[in-house]
Amino acid sequence: MSYTTKNDKVILIDGGLGTTLHEYGLAILDDPLWSGRTLVNAQEQLVKAHRAFVQAKCDIISTATYQVTVDSLMKHHQLSHEQAEEIIFNSVKIAQNVIDEERAQCSVAGSIGPYGAMLCDGSEFNGWYTDSMTIEKFKDWHRPRLAILARAEPTFIAFETIPSKKEAEALAELLREFPNVKAWLSFNCQVNIKRSTKKQNDDEP
């Protein structure tokens, strides 16, 4: 899977996967795996959503793994470690298969949400957990999912809605362990809200 573009080309990325699935009638808004639930028991609806984005001429579609980890799959769906890894790995195949079926010029991004998304309490929007975490703890937590998705070879890894500088720095360091991975980080920022520490004003993303 390769990706090239001219510098002046606008890249259209999919968005609102959870909202789209909700519109399809799936009750995911209060689900601890969010749209990732579809990887376990609603793949037809996930394929439908991916296809809608591809047909809308998106340049990049994202996997349904923003709020999915091996541990969360094991906890909420009583899966083995191996089964959970396979589900995350296959998320890339599901997206790529839709692209292939549509014969579209589109790429896949493996979606990875912040640590706060796992807490299911809105922490990905405020970053209040950051003070209790170290760079190494962030790296240790993100590493397993990144490793699985990297093995599946999406065109990109998308680290999404990162709410703090510390977590972003951890991800930048972690990416050095995966030299063949192309990635981007997107941030969740709000004016006058300190995201990465209660003591330093300059620690915003």
Task: Encode pLDDT of 150-161 as tens digits.
Answer: 999 999 999 999
Q: Do 68 and 33 meet the contact criterion of CB atoms below 8 Å apart?
A: yes
Q: Taking 70 as the threshold, does the pLDDT of residue 10 lie above it?
A: yes
Q: Which structural domain range is residue 30 located in?
A: 17-187
Q: Taking 50 as the threshold, does the pLDDT of residue 200 lie above it?
A: no
Q: Which residue has the tokens 């209790």?
A: 132
Nearest 10 degrees: CA dihedral of 40, 42, 47, 49?
Answer: -120
* Cα(46)–Cα(197) distance, integer angstroms: 37
Task: Encode pLDDT of 56-68 as tens digits.
Answer: 999 999 999 999 9
Q: In what order do the strands lie in the sheet with 107-112?
A: 60-62, 107-112, 156-162, 183-187
Task: Indicate which CATH number applies to the domain containing 82.
Answer: 3.20.20.330
pLDDT of residue 65: 98
Residue 120 binned pLDDT confidence (cut-offs 50, 70, 90)? confident
Domain annotation covers residue 90:
yes
* Cα(106)–Cα(54) distance, integer angstroms: 7
pTM: 0.88
Task: Encode pLDDT of 20-66 as tens digits.
Answer: 998 998 888 788 898 999 999 999 999 999 999 999 999 999 999 99
Please tell me the total count of domains within the chain: 1
Domain annotation covers residue 92:
yes
Helix (H/G/I), strand (E/B), else coil: 29:
coil
Percent of the chain at pLDDT above 70?
88
Domain annotation covers residue 193:
no
Helix (H/G/I), strand (E/B), else coil: 200:
coil
